[in-house]
Structures are given as C-alpha cells and as structure tokens.
Amino acid sequence: MTRAEAERIGHLDRIARVREGRHAEKVGYPIRIRETEVVRTEMIGAGLLRVTLGGPGTEGFEAHSPCEHVKLMFPDADGRLRLPEQNGLLLRWPKPSPTSREYTVRRYDPDAGEIDIDIVLHPGGLASEWARAVAPGDVMHVAGPPGGLIVPHTYDRYLLAGDITALPAIARRLEELPRTAKGWAFIEVADPDEEIELSAPEDVEVRWLHRGPNPPGTCDALESAVRAVPVLEGERLYVWLAGEAGVLKPLRRWVKGELGLDKRDYDVTGYWKRGIADFDDDHDHHHHHHEA
C-alpha cells in the first residue's frame, strides 16, 4: 500500500470514528487542485444560483462534511490565473495569495461526477458576477476541501441557524442527519421567494425568518429565535451558526456563557461582514495549517 493510500484510509477511518463519537472534530482530507467545467446553472429559490461543476477533474473528489468548503480560483486583476501546486497530499500556494472565493460544497455526486456550489447573488460580488455570466463548458479551478468539521450523529438535539449564506450548509446538514435527529433550523431570508425545499428529519423544526426591507446583517430575528430555544437539562446539544459576523457576536457569547457548551459542541462562523467585500473570518485557513 502506498503512503497516499494509507493516509486516505486513515482519514476515512477517523471520520467514521468521530461520527460515532461524542464530540465534533475537524478532520483533514488530502487537498487537491482540480480543473472542472461548468455543466449547468439553475436558480434555487430567488436568492441562490447553483453552479454545477463536472468533468474528469472531479474524479475522486472528497466530501464528508456539510460545512466543508472549496476555493474557486479567479484570475487576478491583471487577468492572470495563478494556481496553487499539488505537493503530496497538500497544496503549495503562491505568494501573494491568488484571487479566490470560498464556498460550501452543497452536493457531490460521485456517480455523475458533479459538484454543486450555491452562490448568493449580490451585485458586484466576484463569484456572483461570474456565476451570472457563466456558460456550460467554462473552466473553473477548484481547490480543496482541506477537510471538514465532522459532527457526530449522537447528539440529542441539533440547533442550526444562519442567513442565506449559511443556507447551502444547513440544507446539506438537514439531508445528511439521521432521520431520527431532533432539533431546530432557523434561516433568515429576505422573503418567502428565497425559501427552498429542504429534506429535514421529521423532528427538526424548520423556521424561515423574513427580513423584509431590512438590509442583510441588520436584523435581530435570528438572535431572538435562537435564544428562545428550550434547552433541556441533561440533553446533549450541538449548535451550528453561520452568517454575518456582527449578528453572530452576541450568539457566540450566549453559546459559551449561558449555555456553557464545550467548544467541541458548537461552531459559530462569520461567513461575511457588513461593509467588507471579501471578509473571511478564519482568514486563509487553507494555507496556514496546510502550507507544506
């Protein structure tokens, strides 16, 4: 068995163990750079544009966690596309960092060789403008995922909440949770047109919160909904929250302070920040711990 094969089997084994264990853990997978091509695009509700990537480059893609993400690689301002280089199971990134945007893997279908990325449409966004203009056959290089947060299926309840940027990850988690899972999913969208079909377990209450005319990131509906959840004594709760960094700040304090959850039993991630075009809460996490 080659070292690469041994490593591959090692991480799959670890993912299986974590999933059956008591706490969530980050698990790394081999990181690749892949050349894919656009197969098709379609609107998912009024707020998300799904870009389906395919081609031989998707072969062997790894998807194990609903909140894992890839980097879509874009040309720099001068039109030059700079890509990381494969270096064993890692990538070596050129300096300065190439132009890229991070997106959740919404779905990977190994049989069809397809990767779905759901992109929130907002004017002037690099990936957003690309997704609007893209045509079948267009090439996109995809880096990652570098790993993912593996959440066991052993918690008594799950609390998932976020805005439309978190919707692809929430939608995938609701699909992948055991059908016996219990809990809540709160999603803040502008209006009912942005709601989408979700396949949630029967005992997970899904509630859409409508922001109406308020700009994204200015509404406290999500915070009120999350804080009102009846947390039962003696039950093991897992909390996953993502969205606008400022909205999440008081909720991060609530989870740590009032709920007193172990840091392995929650994940709170700012996906974007009001007024900052290219915000990344966990900045450059692809590079640092995977820099060879």
67 by DSSP, 3-state: which?
coil
**Per-residue pLDDT, 287:** 32
How many beta carbons lie within 10 A of that of residue 182, not counting itself?
15
Domain boundaries, the chain: 31-148, 153-272
Top-tier CATH class for 153-272: alpha beta
**pLDDT grade, residue 290 (50/70/90)?**
very low
Fold of 31-148: Elongation Factor Tu (Ef-tu); domain 3 (2.40.30)
DSSP code for 45 = T
Whether 272 shows a pLDDT value over 50: the answer reads yes
Tens of pLDDT along 155-208? 999 999 999 999 999 999 999 999 999 999 999 999 999 999 999 999 999 999
Tell me what pLDDT residue 171 has: 98
- The stretches of the chain forming alpha helices (DSSP H) are 3-20, 126-133, 167-176, 221-227, 245-256, 285-288
pLDDT band at 277 (very low <50, low <70, confident <90, very high): low
Structure tokens at 161: 């909440």
pLDDT (mean) for 247-258: 94
Q: What angle do CA 237, 240, 244 make, to 5 degrees?
A: 145
Q: With 90 as the cut, is the pLDDT of residue 291 above it?
A: no
Q: Cα(130)–Cα(54) distance, rounded to whole angstroms?
A: 17
Cα(154)–Cα(16) distance, integer angstroms: 12
Taking the C-alpha atoms of residue 81 and residue 144, their distance in angstroms, rounded to an integer, is 17
- How many Å apart are CA 151 and CA 138, to the nearest integer? 35
**153-272 shares the fold of 31-148:** no
Position 71, amino acid: K
